[in-house]
């Protein structure tokens, strides 16, 4: 068993990406890799992204990204706050 | 600038923006078939919209848009002028 396994908090995936008629994927989709093994303390890691869906074009333009999982406005109630869960 | 032109230009800019975002994703995910399908579809939509826009309102590029007679590129408004552009602020 690798000495530390960090499963990034999957509750972010509970935030269903905004339904979007053109791009909505079928089925349940987590927009990133969720298990990092053999990660060292104090090293920064960016989990690998996995495309699930995109915002519609005009919303992407005004939000600054086409990917719901990357949309994180500084001042907004829907700013996803997460804490990693350690096993 | 008239409403319809402004709407068209905004949609065109949005499509180009998405093409760039998907391009960045594809750079690190070249084997993601779904992403490539979306990218191609966005680019085709943008190209179709661009040719429609240019037929209606004139060239968007001075070096790769054909032009009616006389040379239309020098007509106002210029792309950098406020009047040429759509308003996006305050919509999000």
Q: What are phi and psi of B13, to 5 degrees?
A: -65, -35
Name the residue facing A51 among B10, B15, B35 (closest C-beta).
Answer: B35
Whole-angstrom CA distances from B66 to A52, B4, B54, B76 are 38, 22, 9, 17
Higher pLDDT, A41 or B20: B20
Could you tell me which residues come within 8 angstroms of residue B37 by beta carbon, excluding any fewer than 6 positions away? none
Determine the residue among A24, A52, A53, A61 to mutate to test chain B binding: the one whose Cβ has the most chain B Cβ atoms within 10 Å.
A61
A23, B38: Cβ pair inside 8 Å? yes
Instruction: Please determine, for residue B82, whether its predicted confidence score (pLDDT) is greater than 90.
Output: no
Residue A18: both structure tokens together: 């905004």
Instruction: Please determine, for residue A22, whether its predicted confidence score (pLDDT) is greater than 70.
Output: no
Q: What residue segments make up the domains of chain A, in order of their start?
A: 48-72
A54, B18: Cβ pair inside 8 Å? yes
pLDDT in tens, A30-49: 999 999 888 899 999 999 99
Could you tell me which residues come within 8 angstroms of residue B77 by beta carbon, excluding any fewer than 6 positions away? B1, B83, B84
Q: What residue segments make up the domains of chain B, in order of their start?
A: 3-83
């Amino acid at each position: 068993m690798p000495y530390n396994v960090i499963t990034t908090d999957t509750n972010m995936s509970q935030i269903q990406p905004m339904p979007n008629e053109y791009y909505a994927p079928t089925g349940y989709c987590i927009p990133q890799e969720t298990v990092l093994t053999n990660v060292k303390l104090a090293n920064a890691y960016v989990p690998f992204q996995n495309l699930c869906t995109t915002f519609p074009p005009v919303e992407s333009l005004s939000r600054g990204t086409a990917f719901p999982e990357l949309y994180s406005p500084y001042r907004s109630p829907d700013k996803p706050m997460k804490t990693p869960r350690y096993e | 600038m008239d409403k319809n032109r402004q709407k068209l230009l905004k949609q065109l800019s949005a499509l180009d923006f998405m093409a760039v975002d998907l391009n960045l994703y594809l750079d690190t995910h070249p084997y993601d078939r779904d992403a490539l399908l979306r990218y191609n579809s966005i680019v085709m939509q943008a190209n179709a919209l661009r040719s429609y826009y240019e037929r209606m309102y004139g060239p968007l590029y001075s070096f790769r848009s054909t032009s009616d007679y006389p040379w239309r590129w020098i007509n106002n408004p210029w792309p950098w002028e406020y009047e040429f552009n759509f308003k996006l602020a305050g919509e999000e």
